[in-house]
Amino acid sequence: MQLKQYQTDTLSVLRHFFEDARGLTDKLVAMGFEEEDACENIEPIQREFDMQGNLFGPRPDQKPVFKHAVTATPGVLYALQEITSEGLLVREMTEGTVEIAIAGWINADAEKAICTTLPEQAQKEFTHAVAKYRVRVEEQISPAARGQVFAVPRLMSGVQDTLEFADTDTFMEFHDWSLCDHPAKLDEREFAIRETARSFEIDLDGNRITYQFASENVQLALDVDIEGWTAEALVLWLDQQVRQMDIHQRDMLKWLRALVGHLIDTRGLDIAALMRCKFILARKVREKIDDIRQRERNRVYQRYLFAPHAKVSVSFDHAFVFRDGMYADQRRYRGRWKPNKHFLGPDHMPAFDGAEDGEEVQCAQTIDNLPAVKYWIRNVARHPNSFCLPTATDKFYPDFVASLNDGRLLVIEYKGAHIAEGSDTAEKRTIGALWERESKGKGLFLIAEKSVDGQDVRQQLLEKVTK
């Protein structure tokens, strides 16, 4: 009777908890949170209840457990207890009988270490039991947890007789360039100041910022000299505002003097007008320097990867290696679909961009159902453990990486119809094709789209893997 009352009280508490959680979610949404974000941040702690009325803490991922009893002497028991292997537990059940328990997958090293401690007949029985256990639980344990190797070769490039990771930031470290090698000027299309009767306009790339005077009596004369407003003072102020870590101050000052001189002497802008607009001018100068730096990045990117003399290769010795637990810090996919072939397992798949049933999820479902695919992984963008390829501006993280049954690798970037084309996609196609070419048949690269020449995603993938 007491137990029944206890269970009733427990269910009542849980019901009130969920009602309170729902109310808190509604309040977060009212405060401006998206409903999905609110739900993810209010998560009920799952607790286990048994008939003795015990409540335990949050449950970790349930793993199958291998158990096997052997007849063992005290010496064998001591040897077993000395083995250090994750998930291994050895206990004496009765005098002369020992139980060996291992949670999760039993790798070859653990099996060998245990076998060497057992008598010959016990070794055979243990090995047979392990083999049966592996067959039984193989589908319950992810390829990553089983210790499967999933490595993707990294793109490399020869830089000054040294093989380096293909990365534009690395290329720039070996690249000597000077700001002074680039014209120090802002033309009319980039920056202009125009005065009218009651206002003045600053023209930035065709976008005009207009300053309106309060009245006709309050005029802002742009050509009235004020003490301390000199070209050199403006140069020194700009130097403080736009200073860059990779540009020597000597070069920066020289370039800024030339730029201010061009604005005053060549274009005829008054120093007073420039001083009054100095913050906007500083922003434009920073943009100009960023543009110059990007042009230099484009140059080294082409030189070390695509020029005729570029020494490009892929290397498994410096590969990206996917491992169990590598995305433990990432939000997981919580939708209804359960993949069969995800490398980390269905419950450890990182969340997708976009809707739960969006195009990216549909692409993942297609990959999961492809007969040629052994296993695949959702490759998280900007994660330090993820596979990436270089671009002139940054790094490119393809959406999916798959291991095929024939040993090849398939790298897939999915592009929705609204973003399938453009300079960004073209650059990704080019670097992906380079990685594929240098992999010498071991790697395939595809930018998949919702529809290409009448082919859906599945047909595009099938065509790629059957070439």
| Dihedral sign computed on CA atoms, order 354, 359, 361, 364 | negative
Identity at 459, one-letter amino acid code: Q
| Residue ending a domain, choose from 272, 303, 334 | 303
Element (H, E) at 429: helix 423-438
Instruction: Give the pair of three-digit tokens for residue 426.
Output: 């073209």
Average pLDDT over residues 126-141: 92
Do the domain assignments include residue 171?
A: no
Q: What is the pLDDT of residue 200?
A: 55
Domain membership of residue 228 as a residue range: 179-303
Single-letter amino acid, residue 346: P
Highest mean pLDDT among 30-34, 199-203, 207-211, 439-443: 439-443
Tens digit of pLDDT for each residue in 8-53? 444 444 344 445 545 554 554 455 444 444 444 444 333 333 333 4
Last residue of a domain, one of 118, 140, 162: 140
State whether 353 and 268 are in the same domain.
no
**What residues contact 113, with CB distance under 8 A and at least 6 apart?**
83, 85
4 is a domain residue: no
Same-domain pairing of 347 and 421: yes
Query: Is residue 198 over pLDDT 50?
Result: no
Residue type, 353: D
Contact assessment for residue 164 and residue 156, using Cβ atoms and an 8 Å cutoff: yes
Burial class (CB in 10 A: 0-12, 13-18, 19+), 464: middle
Residue type, 354: G
Looking at the structure, do residues 356 and 403 belong to the same domain, yes or no? yes
Contact between 409 and 435 under an 8 Å Cβ cutoff? The reply is no
pLDDT at 185 over 60: yes
Residues 78 and 117 occupy one common structural domain: yes
Q: In what order do the strands lie in the sheet with 150-159?
A: 162-165, 150-159, 312-322
Residues 447 and 353 in one domain: yes
Residues 375, 248, single domain; the answer is no
Say if residue 80 is in the same domain as residue 116: yes
Task: Identify whether 338 is part of a domain.
Answer: yes
Looking at the predicted structure, is the pLDDT value of residue 266 above 90? Answer: yes
How far does Cα 300 stand from its chain's mean position?
A: 24
Same domain, 362 and 420: yes
3-state class (DSSP) for residue 209? strand
Max CA distance (Å), the chain: 107
Number of domains in the chain: 3
Same domain, 417 and 336: yes
One-character DSSP codes across 3-64: HHHHHHHHHHHHHHHHHHHHHHHHHHHHTT--HHHHHHHS-PPP--B-TT--B--PPPPP--
Amino acid (1-letter code) at residue 29: V
**CA 341, 418, 404: angle at the middle one, nearest 5?**
20
Do 333 and 460 sit in the same domain of this protein? yes
Mark which of 90, 122, 140 sits at the end of a domain: 140
Q: What stretches of 323-394 adopt beta strand conformation (E)?
A: 373-378, 389-390
Q: Which residues contact 415 (CB under 8 A, 6 or more apart)?
A: 425, 447, 448, 449
Q: For the domain that residue 390 is a member of, what is the CATH number?
A: 3.40.1350
Q: Is the pLDDT of residue 199 over 70?
A: no
Residue 216 lies in a domain: yes
In the chain, helix, strand, coil percent, each to 5?
40, 20, 40
The region of weakest confidence among 1-10, 400-409, 422-431 is 1-10
351 neighbors 381 (Cβ within 8 angstroms): no
**Pair 437, 360 in one domain:** yes
- β-partners of residue 166 are none
State how far the Cα of 406 lies from the Cα of 429, in Å rounded to an integer.
24
Give 147-206 as a DSSP string.
T--EEEEEEEEEETTEEEE--HHHHHHT----GGGS-----TTT-EEEE-SSEEEEEETT
Q: In this structure, are 330 and 426 located in the same domain?
A: yes
Distance CA 217, CA 32 (A): 46
Could you report the per-residue pLDDT of 356-392, keeping only the tens digit for each? 789 999 999 999 999 999 999 999 999 999 999 999 9
Q: For residue 440, is it within any domain?
A: yes
Q: Specify which residues 412 forms β-bridges with.
A: 400, 446
What count of residues does the chain have? Answer: 467
24: in domain = no
Which residues contact residue 204 at a Cβ distance below 8 angstroms, ignoring those fewer than 6 apart? 190, 191, 280, 284
Residue 189 domain-assigned? yes
Q: Which of 33-47, 122-136, 277-291, 412-426 has the lowest mean pLDDT?
A: 33-47
pLDDT tens digits, one per residue of 89-123? 999 888 889 999 999 999 999 999 999 999 989 99
In a domain, 356, yes or no: yes
Q: Look at residues 165, 154, 163 and name the one whose alpha carbon lies nearest to residue 435.
A: 154
Side-chain-side CA neighbours of 226 within 13 Å: the count stands at 13
Non-local (6+) Cβ contacts of 311 within 8 A are 157, 158, 163
Q: Are 115 and 70 in contact (CB under 8 A)?
A: no
Global pTM reads: 0.75
Kindly tell me the burial class for residue 105, based on how many C-beta atoms sit within 10 Å of its own C-beta (0-12, 13-18, 19 or more): buried
Record the tokens describing residue 378, joined without a space: 């959702």
